[in-house]
Structure 1
């Protein structure tokens, strides 16, 4: 139980979108620790799909 406040989720989406813009990546390039490394537990409190959707909206 380690919820991310809405402001923190917004900040990570903005930061990830900025990195994607610089490198001309899509939101699909953004991955979470637990998607890459089994055994990692983060992020918690939201899904990476929901975060990627937020990033994709910012990249439009």
Structure 2
């Protein structure tokens, strides 16, 4: 399992990159979505992370 602080850091970093580049949460992807054979991240889904990033981008 990922500690809550690390999940928050992942969310904040992804949102910061999206803001800087003018992207939406749809630009946040995991290795497993980009490269066949990759298995990460494990322990959470990218849909879950994108929802968190979407909420943070509202601020």
Cα distance in 2 for residues equivalent to 1:7 and 1:41: 22
The unaligned stretches of length 5 or more in structure 1 are none
Q: Paired residues, what number?
A: 58
Cα distance in 2 for residues equivalent to 1:4 and 1:37: 22
Which structure has more RCO (C-alpha within 8 Å, separation ≥ 6)? 1
Give matches, 1:12-27, under 5 Å.
12-27=10-25
- Deviating 4+ runs (over 6 angstroms): none
Which one of 45, 49, 52 corresponds to residue 50 of structure 2? 52
Which residue pairs with 2:7 in the alignment?
Answer: 9
Which residue pairs with 1:41 in the alignment?
Answer: 39
TM-score calculated relative to the size of structure 2: 0.94
TM-score calculated relative to the size of structure 1: 0.93
